[in-house]
Amino acid sequence: MPSQSKIHNLIENNFIWVGIVVSGFYWFLDSVIHVSILGDGTLTNQIFSPASHEIWTRVLVSFILISSSSLVQSYVFKRKLAEKDVVETGQRYQTLFDTANDSIFLMEKEIFVDCNKKTRELFGCTRDQIIGQPPYKFSPEYQPDGQLSRKKALEKINAALEGVPQRFEWKHCQFDGTLFDAEVSLNRMNSLGKIYIQAIVRDITDRKRVEVALRRSEERYRSLINNAYYSITLFDTCNNITMINDVSARKLGGEPNDFIGKTYRDIFPEQAEILIDRIQQVIKTGERLNFEDKLRMPDGTERWFWSNLQPVVNSDGKITSVLVVAHDMTDKKKAEEALKESQNLLRAILESTADGILVVNNNGQVTHTNKNFAELWRMPPQLIQSRDDDKLLEFVLDQLVDPEAFLAKVKILYNSSEKDIDQLHFKDGRVFERNSFPLIQNNEIAGRVWSFKDITAKRQQGQFPQEQQSVKTH
């Protein structure tokens, strides 16, 4: 069923044509009656007769009166509908205005002329305490950037009045002086021929606290990263460097900003593919990897690094980056190589001497022997490999003429800083010369060195006295 407004629209739009048709039909019908019933001339004469003109005039006047009345009624009806729509729209906007979760002001120039319920809650005061006041009345004297609140507020307001929307952060205060952080937007609006500013204020105190905490956390994190002893680099899933600490940048011969956005191809072109494959392996498997590499640095030198690669995930558990922590082991490697070289040299010296050499530390562990020692004492290889001095002593006791004296002398010398030379007599007739002296490391006694020489033939030739001798030196 058509609504009342639709019926009025239909009548209004077609009323003139309906009136013309009805009038013409009435005029024609009156002429036909005069011709057919009254026999009063022809149809043409009747249509254009003075009587017909009189009828037509009356009908036309009636039509004009009816049409005017209908138009007036239609106008009144439409106006009432429009007024109703205005009232309903106003009520809807007022409801939105009052129930908005943000503080909303209406300002005429720099003065508040209206505000919603949230404004009163946010600023902790009544409507009457707000209306008629400027925004800097609810602000500290100075903003965090050092500018006067009044001066800065007027600059923002004037810009908005010129049609330039404003959006900025502001330090506001409640009616009792309590400060809070806010995000403010200002927009010019025209209402009933007057210019206003609509101001929307949102409390962002909690957000600012989080931002400050996050910024401090990032500063601590960056400080730890940049002061770390290790090289730390962060790669995205496309192998690009997104973060690098000072230690790593210095080792590569630059500053951190020099390497942001670069890949291993830009830094280690010879070994880049291997290093990139490791990053992609971590992204694919989500597992940590450890590697030891010898890398050619951008300056042409070679350095050893022990590297740990581990995935970095976001809140959804998705891998977004790979963190590489690398420890420069070059100095350690050089020290190990030097030690190895020294040990090899010592081994060569020990093996080249005709004496049997035994070195024992303070823990009773054999640290060095040579081939002649095992041959002189006729020890099996597995016993030498045990590195246990007690087992070696137990093995040789049965070979000596006076094992008790030998063992007692050994125990005395292990607790002594003196050098000692004596002779050992074996049951099979052999005679050894034994030299013993403390092993000094870092100015401390770290163990004892024993040297054994077979002097059996020389004794038989009379080059050594027949009795066992012991000589101590300091």
Q: Edge-to-edge, what's the strand order for the sheet holding 356-361?
A: 366-369, 356-361, 444-454, 431-441, 419-425, 470-473
Report how far residue 402's alpha carbon sits from residue 426's, in angstroms, rounded to the nearest whole number: 8
With CA atoms as reference, report the closest residue to 228 among 358, 324, 370.
Answer: 324
Place of tokens 């739009």: 13
| Structure tokens that stand for 353 in this block | 């001497």
What are the angstrom distances between the C-alpha of 232 and each of 222, 261, 310, 322, 350? 11, 15, 12, 11, 45
On the question of pLDDT at 186 being above 80, the answer is yes
| Structure tokens that stand for 29 in this block | 């019908």
3-state secondary structure of 303: strand
Among 199-208, 213-222, 231-240, 261-270, which stretch is predicted with the lowest mean pLDDT?
213-222
* H/E stretch holding 321: strand 319-328
pLDDT band at 63; cut points 50, 70, 90 = low
With CA atoms as reference, report the closest residue to 175 among 132, 105, 120.
Answer: 120
Residue 256: predicted pLDDT: 92
> Quick one: average pLDDT of 343-370?
85
Residue 69: predicted pLDDT: 54
Q: What is the DSSP code (8-state) at residue 418?
A: -
Residue 37: predicted pLDDT: 53
Residue 150: predicted pLDDT: 94
The beta strand positions in 177-301, using DSSP E, are 179-191, 194-203, 231-236, 241-244, 289-296
Listing DSSP states for 235-252 in one string gives EETTS-EEEE-HHHHHHT
Per residue in 93-119, pLDDT (tens digit) is 556 666 778 899 899 989 999 999 899
Per residue in 137-151, pLDDT (tens digit) is 999 999 999 999 999
Greatest mean pLDDT among 40-54, 68-82, 231-245, 352-366 lies in: 231-245
Contact predicate 234/321, CB 8 Å: yes
Residue 471: predicted pLDDT: 42
Residue 215: predicted pLDDT: 83
| Structure tokens that stand for 456 in this block | 């059996």
pLDDT band at 11; cut points 50, 70, 90 = very low
Q: Does the reported pTM lie above 0.85?
A: no
pLDDT band at 261; cut points 50, 70, 90 = very high
Contact predicate 294/302, CB 8 Å: yes
Per residue in 278-289, pLDDT (tens digit) is 999 999 999 999
On the question of pLDDT at 176 being above 90, the answer is yes
pLDDT band at 474; cut points 50, 70, 90 = very low
pLDDT band at 343; cut points 50, 70, 90 = confident
Q: Please, which residues bridge with residue 184 across strands?
A: 168, 201
Residue 353: predicted pLDDT: 83
pLDDT band at 376; cut points 50, 70, 90 = very high
Place of tokens 């080059």: 463
On the question of pLDDT at 204 being above 50, the answer is yes
On the question of pLDDT at 122 being above 70, the answer is yes
Q: Which CATH architecture has domain 101-204?
A: 2-Layer Sandwich (3.30)
On the question of pLDDT at 266 being above 90, the answer is yes
3-state secondary structure of 289: strand
Residue 62: predicted pLDDT: 55
What are the angstrom distances between the C-alpha of 328 and each of 183, 304, 331? 49, 6, 8
With CA atoms as reference, report the closest residue to 67 among 6, 8, 10, 16.
Answer: 16
On the question of pLDDT at 341 being above 60, the answer is yes
For the chain, how many residues are written? 474
| Structure tokens that stand for 474 in this block | 């300091």
Report how far residue 175's alpha carbon sits from residue 36's, in angstroms, rounded to the nearest whole number: 95
